C-alpha cells in the first residue's frame, strides 16, 4: 500500500516532481516542475492525509456493496430471465443495506484541525527535547574558532582563515529553530501536554 504522504502530495500537486528517501515530509526532495508548482507545506500535507483517510472511510459503503453484488454474469442472467425490474429490486436491497455516504464538511474540518494539532504537538515535543540537551559551547575540548585551509585548484595557492566552529554554529542554529517552534506553539497544544 502506498503511504498516505505519497497520495497527499500527488493530490495537492498533480504532475509535480518530487522524491522521498523515506515516507516522511522532511525526507521529501522537491524538484521544481516546469509549471512552477511549489512544495506543499507540511500543514497542507497532514490536512490532505486527514481528508483522504476520511474519504476512504466514507467509501467503505462501495466496498461493502461490491462484496455483496452478484457477479456480472449472474446479474445479466437475472435481467434475461426475470427482467430489469426484478434485477433492480435485488440490487436495491444491497444499496439500501449500505447507503451512500458523503463527507460532512464539519467532520472534515474537525479532522483537519486535529491533524494540525497533532503536528504542532509533535513539533513542540521534538523542540523541547532538543532544548533539553546541553548547549555546545567553547571549552578546552571545543574551540570557539577553527582554522580552515583551502587550496585554489588553478593556482595551487593555499589560504587559511579562521572561522567560527561549525559544531557550535550548528548547535546554536538548531537551538534557535527549536526555540522558534516552542514560541510559535499555540497554548492549547502546550496545555494538552502538561495535563
Give the pLDDT confidence of 39-79 residue by residue, as tens digits. 999 999 999 999 999 999 999 999 999 999 999 999 999 99
Q: What is the pLDDT of residues 104-121, one digit of tens each?
A: 999 999 999 999 999 999
Distance of CA 22 to the CA centre of its chain: 12
- Looking at residue 2, its pLDDT comes to 54
Q: What is the mean pLDDT of the chain?
A: 92
Other beta carbons within 10 Å of 2: 8
3-class secondary-structure state, position 64: helix
Residue 16: partners with Cβ closer than 8 Å, 6 or more residues away: 9, 30, 31, 33, 35, 37
Residues 87-105: tens digit of each pLDDT: 999 999 999 999 999 999 9
**Segment (H or E) for 150:** strand 145-151
pTM for this predicted structure: 0.76
Amino acid at each position: 500500500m502506498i503511504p498516505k504522504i505519497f497520495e497527499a502530495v500527488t493530490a495537492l500537486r498533480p504532475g509535480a516532481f518530487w522524491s522521498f528517501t523515506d515516507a516522511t515530509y522532511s525526507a521529501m526532495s522537491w524538484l521544481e516542475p516546469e509549471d512552477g508548482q511549489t512544495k506543499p507545506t507540511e500543514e497542507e500535507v497532514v490536512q490532505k492525509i486527514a481528508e483522504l483517510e476520511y474519504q476512504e472511510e466514507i467509501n467503505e459503503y462501495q466496498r461493502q456493496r461490491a462484496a455483496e453484488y452478484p457477479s456480472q454474469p449472474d446479474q445479466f442472467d437475472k435481467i434475461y430471465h426475470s427482467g430489469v425490474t426484478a434485477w433492480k429490486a435485488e440490487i436495491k436491497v444491497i444499496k439500501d443495506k449500505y447507503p451512500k455516504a458523503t463527507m460532512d464538511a464539519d467532520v472534515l474540518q474537525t479532522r483537519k484541525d486535529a491533524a494540525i494539532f497533532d503536528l504542532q504537538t509533535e513539533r513542540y515535543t521534538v523542540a523541547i527535547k532538543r532544548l533539553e540537551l546541553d548547549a555546545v559551547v567553547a571549552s578546552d575540548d571545543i574551540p570557539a574558532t577553527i582554522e580552515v585551509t583551502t587550496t585554489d585548484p588553478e593556482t595551487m595557492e593555499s589560504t587559511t582563515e579562521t572561522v567560527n566552529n561549525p559544531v557550535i554554529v550548528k548547535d546554536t542554529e538548531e537551538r534557535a529553530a527549536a526555540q522558534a517552534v516552542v514560541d510559535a506553539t499555540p497554548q492549547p497544544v502546550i496545555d494538552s501536554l502538561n495535563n
